[in-house]
Structure 1
Amino acid sequence: MTTTSARPAPPFGRALCAMVTPFSADGALDLDGAQRLADHLVSRGCDGLVLSGTTGESPTTSDAEKAALVEAVREAVGGRASIVAGVGTFDTRHTVELALAAEKAGADGVLVVSPYYSRPPQDALEEHFRTVADASGLPVVLYDIPGRTGTRIEPGTMLRLAEHPRIVAVKDCSHDFLAAQKVLGQGELAYYAGCDEHNLALYAVGGAGYVSTVANVVPSQLRAVIDAFDAGDTAGAARLQQRATPLIESMMAAGLPGTVTGKALLNELGLPAGPVRPPLRPAGRAALDGLLAAYEDLTAA
């Protein structure tokens, strides 16, 4: 027995990677590296790639770099995977400009984070998302990550926004599993887990899949979790998720941003990544040794 028959097709696939943005040694955008990394991830099970999100260092890349990244990755993956471009800023007008540029560059959708720092109230937040959704023909993924933005997208706001024909999905980093289930039960938004520890749990209650930082380094292992669940092997899916937990913790909950830990591992594995841009700093040797140990434990299993 499988579990897929009652599950609607997700708009961007099930297994999405929040891809790092590769840089050269001098900190310049490495488009060749981005193409090679994108091809590597898609060939190992990623249905989609989210570019210029938190993991993609969007605060420290220029508008021109963001558009060039979409164009290069589109060329590399063609129609084999969806591309969702991060366009969210604290400025509605600038966010609209980035959404239009992403559409022109070949993105399939846009990821729009709550405006950070200014902390708009819910009615202003709702208007911001509607304005962006009205501006282009691309479907919109709402990005709820209050730990970074300072502002929740409240469940009621989510449900009202779901009425917009181009607001189709959520990347959920709220750490509020109850709220996520409430919205799932009342609306038609496709919910993607944005925290890797929730990948299976959210999928099991009707989520669309995940947008994963950890997938940069173990795309096949994370894809296997939801494949097992879809095949009806829920116990096997749980075991696979549990097996990935030490690496998830090492990369996402050990004091360093996922961008830093992801790039550290990719560099050690000989895959395109390069340095992080300031104010981020590279992982130290002790942190890297711990990451490698967790990676080796998972991939040797």
Structure 2
Amino acid sequence: MTTPSSAASPPPFGRTAVAMITPFRADGAPDLDGAQRLAVHLVEEGCDGIILSGTTGESSTTTDTEKEALLRAVVEAVGDRARITAGVGTGDTRHGVGLARTAERAGAHGLLVLPPPYSRPGQEAAAHHLRTVADATGLPVMLYDIPGRTGTALAAGTLLRLAEHPRVRGVKDCAYDLMKTAKVLAATGLAYYAGCDEQILPLRAAGAAGCVSTVANAAPWEIRAVLDAYDAGDPAAATRRHLALVPLIEAMMDTEHPGAVTAKALLNALGLPAGPVRAPLLAAGPEVTTGLLAALKAARQ
């Protein structure tokens, strides 16, 4: 059983983790060389965790073969300089088990697992899916609580039961339910990660281990600086840095232009590997990109 005292151990998925985009070439194929260059850049700019094949990684439009190739490429480029966590989200439990085992063979350090989307299972069924995938490998598991996309919010009681599993080590929190988060943090040693950038500092102050940031694709140092300031005992500086990022966070997480779209628009404009998005997503237009660049410039001042 995990206990609150175990939260003092090093975060199992890094502290400043980035939900990395999946770079594509102009022809739509995965850009594995670009993925390696981007991963190295993100690590050198302060990220100690990389999440692959998540929402921002456009996992719903990449094949199993592409996911494995991306993972192998990033592991080769980064090695042990950052914790590499592979997203294995799927609506089919058997498929999730297969993805998890492939990720383990490919060198992942951990797994990101979400409740099955679309089918909207009850709590026990969702927990059974998550336990089954966690049972499939020896890797630590980060649960992904994102009801806005899966249709299933993990209840506090469900998270408390899942915390008993020896390989369930963390939660990527996109549930927008601070009471639930606080209850689970108080009762377990699960490493919580803010999955919504505007909550990075508030959740760190409540005891979270760190973040899984979309904005860190374009502003990795700035995201890390918020956590660095707080952990150095300077909450006032952390607050200043956090508030300076709010306009960029708002611009990048606009509901009309999801994080994969805005992150790729910024990376392309900055000359970093990104490429196009895959349909059904549509690329950001010039006006949106100009606004994003202005927000990024302001966040860096």
* Structure 1 vs Structure 2 CA RMSD: 0.9
Shift of 1:23: 0.2
Residue 295 of structure 1 corresponds to 296
Contact 1:264 1:288 survives alignment (8 Å):
yes
AA at the equivalent of 2:262: T
- CA separation in 2, counterparts of 1:172 and 1:195? 7
- Listed as ranges, the matches of 1:24-39 within 5 Å are 24-39=25-40
Structure 1 residue matching 2:86: 3-state secondary structure: strand
Residue 159 of structure 1 corresponds to 160
- Normalization by structure 1: what TM-score? 0.97
Please state if 1:67 is matched with 2:102: no
- CA separation in 2, counterparts of 1:222 and 1:254? 21
- CA separation in 2, counterparts of 1:147 and 1:220? 28
Q: Which moved more, 1:254-263 or 1:220-229?
A: 254-263
Shift of 1:255: 2.4
Spell out structure 1 runs of 4+ moving beyond 2 A.
none
Residue 4 of structure 2 corresponds to none
AA at the equivalent of 2:139: L
Contact 1:7 1:206 survives alignment (8 Å):
no
- CA separation in 2, counterparts of 1:177 and 1:102? 31
- CA separation in 2, counterparts of 1:52 and 1:162? 24
Structure 1 residue matching 2:125: 3-state secondary structure: helix
- CA separation in 2, counterparts of 1:283 and 1:254? 12
Structure 1 residue matching 2:27: 3-state secondary structure: coil
Contact 1:20 1:56 survives alignment (8 Å):
yes
Residue 104 of structure 1 corresponds to 105
Q: Which runs of 5+ in 2 are unaligned?
A: 1-6
Shift of 1:271: 0.1
Contact 1:213 1:258 survives alignment (8 Å):
yes
- CA separation in 1, counterparts of 2:85 and 2:263? 19
Query: How many residue pairs are counted as aligned between the two chains?
Result: 295
Residue 3 of structure 1 corresponds to none
Residue 148 of structure 2 corresponds to 147
Please state if 1:123 is matched with 2:124: yes
AA at the equivalent of 2:175: S
Structure 1 residue matching 2:192: 3-state secondary structure: strand
Listed one character per residue, the Cα deviations across residues 123-162 of structure 1 (whole Å, up to 9, x for unaligned) are 1011111111111111111001000111101110000000
Residue 267 of structure 1 corresponds to 268
Residue 21 of structure 1 corresponds to 22
Shift of 1:292: 1.0
Contact 1:52 1:86 survives alignment (8 Å):
yes
Residue 230 of structure 1 corresponds to 231
- CA separation in 2, counterparts of 1:96 and 1:281? 31
Please state if 1:243 is matched with 2:248: no
Contact 1:126 1:157 survives alignment (8 Å):
yes
Please state if 1:278 is matched with 2:283: no
AA at the equivalent of 2:108: A
Residue 80 of structure 2 corresponds to 79
Structure 2 residue matching 1:267: 3-state secondary structure: helix
Q: Which runs of 5+ in 1 are unaligned?
A: 1-5
- CA separation in 1, counterparts of 2:205 and 2:8? 10
Listed one character per residue, the Cα deviations across residues 22-67 of structure 1 (whole Å, up to 9, x for unaligned) are 0000100000000000000000100010000000000000001101
- CA separation in 2, counterparts of 1:254 and 1:110? 27
- CA separation in 2, counterparts of 1:188 and 1:125? 21
Q: Percent identity?
A: 64
Shift of 1:8: 3.4
Structure 1 residue matching 2:26: 3-state secondary structure: coil
